[in-house]
Amino acid sequence: MAQGTRIVIVGGVAAGMSAASQARRRKPDATVTVFERGPYISYGSCGMPYNIEDPERSIDDLVVLTPEKARESRGIDLHLRHEVTAIDPGSRTVTVRDLEAGSERTEGWDALVIATGASAVRLPLPGFDLPGVTVLRELTDGALVKRLLAEGRKAAAIVGGGYIGMEMAHVLTSRGLRVTVLEKLPDILPGWGPETVALVRKELERNGVDVRTGVSVTGAEAGPDGSVAAVTTDAGPVEADLVLQAVGARPNVRLAAEAGLRIGDTGAIWVNQYQQTSADGIWAAGDCAEAYHRVLRRNAWIPLGTTANKQGRIAGANVVGAAQRFAGIVGTSGFKVFDLEVARSGLGFDQAKAEGFEPVAVTITQRSRAHGYPGGSPIQVTLVADEPTGVLLGGELAGRDGAALRANVLGTALAAHMTVSDLQGLDLVYAPPFAPVWDPVLVAANQLAKKVGRR
Please say if 46 is a catalytic residue.
yes
H or E element in which residue 335 lies: strand 333-337
Determine which one of 46, 123, 125, 144 is catalytic: 46
The two beta strands, 392-399 and 378-386, are: antiparallel
DSSP state of 286: G
Residues whose CB is less than 8 angstroms from the CB of residue 271 and which lie 6 or more positions away in sequence, other chains included: 277, 283, 284, 285, 289, 290, 291, 299, 311
Residues whose CB is less than 8 angstroms from the CB of residue 371 and which lie 6 or more positions away in sequence, other chains included: 436
Q: How far apart are CA 300 and CA 288, in angstroms?
A: 12
DSSP state of 181: E
In angstroms, the Cα distances linking 268 to 325, 372, 380 are 19, 50, 34
Q: How far apart are CA 90 and CA 26, in angstroms?
A: 27
One-letter amino acid for residue 270 of the chain = W
In angstroms, the Cα distances linking 256 to 122, 183, 251 are 22, 33, 11
Closest CA to 251 of 183, 184, 299, 196: 299
Closest CA to 12 of 73, 71, 91: 71
448 burial level (CB within 10 Å; 0-12, 13-18, 19+): buried
Half-sphere exposure of 27 (CA within 13 A, CB side): 21
DSSP codes of every residue in 67-125? HHHHHHTT--EEEETEEEEEEETTTTEEEEEETTT--EEEEE-SEEEE---EEE-----
Give the residue numbers marked as catalytic.
Answer: 46
